[in-house]
Homo-oligomer: A and B are copies of this chain.
Amino acid sequence: MIINGKNYRTVWMKSNVIYTIEQRLLPHEFKIVGLKTAKEAADAIKDMMIRGAPAIGAMGAYGLAQAISNQKETNREKFIENIKKIKKMLWETRPTAYDLTHGLNFVFDRIKNQSYINNIKKIAAAAAEEYADRSAEACKKIGIFGNNIIKNNSNILTHCNAGALATVDYGTALAPIRLAYYNKKNIHVFVSETRPRNQGAKLTAWELAQENIPHSIIADSAAGYFMAKKEIDLVITGADRIAANGDAANKIGTYGKSVLAKENGIPFYIAAPFSTIDPNTKTGNEIPIEERSQEEINYISIISNNKLMKIRMTPKESTARNPAFDVTPAKYITGIITEKGIIKPNELRNLL
């Protein structure tokens, strides 16, 4: 993605330091952070400095490769044991995203049968790099396939941030939007705010603004209004995990938008690489849904005088519930835009 005229990925590694964009400061400040340990990588995921399933997958891959490189143990068996523990720590940061499992296993599977520690270190670093490259390439292809379903003069609704910032590059839901815009189609994007963390209003709007793609931010609750008014032609969101039957877990609120789209006869697409599809999860009921801290509802995070502050928005006696994801049943999904083409949810099982 282009930021201030320069090309960036969301996460990359150089000289064994992982670099990523501090997403919690956006849209107000653009800052690159260097992570030097697996603990720092895990915290970056857990505390949502980086978020989005494919981006988390790459962070997991880099985090594990970095930990392997930093590992001082010389006994191979103990070495692998230590790495397994670090892998588990990285894996436990976010329970819903399947890409994280995929990224960690991609690196671990390459090294687990290797005998020599020096080889292990080199192979792990190369595997993480390959994982990130493949991930970026998959998103680019999602954009190329997805562009085909975007007609000229379209109004497209997206939810949360499934943009370049949520992936290694290009984005998932935003990749078709980018490609349509590059192909000179006249488009306008409705960006739903995405409470409680406002990833739509903060991140998606920022990415679109960087490339001058026309957009309007709306309250999450306003999607139905614009659908009923026929002001939305198409919905595209990302996914955090897709089950074998086509059910898709994504940011809280996706399910509601899919039901409203169906009710209003509007096509509803999920854009996701195959790495988001978990053949071992039979249906959406099996996807664990992370319930995050009620502080995200009770407090608003603002940046004032360059400081991140949390301000209580609700009565001090009130409690909150904060599920971070919901499951959109396959029956509400028109198609899944993947790097291998657009597939219907019910075709998924045959392809896996």
A interface vs B, CB < 8 Å? 27-28, 190-191, 193-196, 198, 201-202, 205-206, 208-209, 215-226, 228, 251-253, 255-256, 259-260, 263, 289, 297-298, 300, 302-304, 311-323, 326-327
Contact = CB atoms under 8 A, between A and B. Distances in A.
B253 A259 contact: no
A217 B255 contact: no
Given A260-B256, A327-B228, A302 B311 contact: yes
A252 B219 contact: yes
A202 B253 contact: no
14 contacts: A27-B314, A27-B315, A201-B313, A202-B313, A209-B318, A215-B319, A218-B322, A219-B252, A221-B256, A222-B252, A223-B256, A225-B252, A226-B321, A256-B256
A275 to B, nearest CB: 25
A150 to B, nearest CB: 20
Contacts of A304: 304, 311
A192 to B, nearest CB: 8
A323 B300 CA distance: 23
B205 A219 contact: no
B253 A217 contact: no
B202 A326 contact: no
Nearest to A319: B216
A314 B202 CA distance: 5
A194 B314 CA distance: 12
A90 to B, nearest CB: 27
Nearest to A195: B219
Contact of A297 (B218, B302, B319, B321): B218
A340 B223 CA distance: 34
A321 B216 contact: yes
A245 to B, nearest CB: 16
Given A209-B318, A260-B259, A314-B27, A221 B297 contact: no
A252 B319 contact: no
Contacts of A252: 219, 221-222, 225
The 9 A-B residue pairs with the shortest CB-CB distance, nearest first, are: A221-B253, A224-B256, A27-B315, A209-B317, A225-B326, A195-B219, A217-B320, A205-B318, A209-B315
Given A222-B252, A326-B224, A217 B298 contact: yes
B255 A225 contact: yes
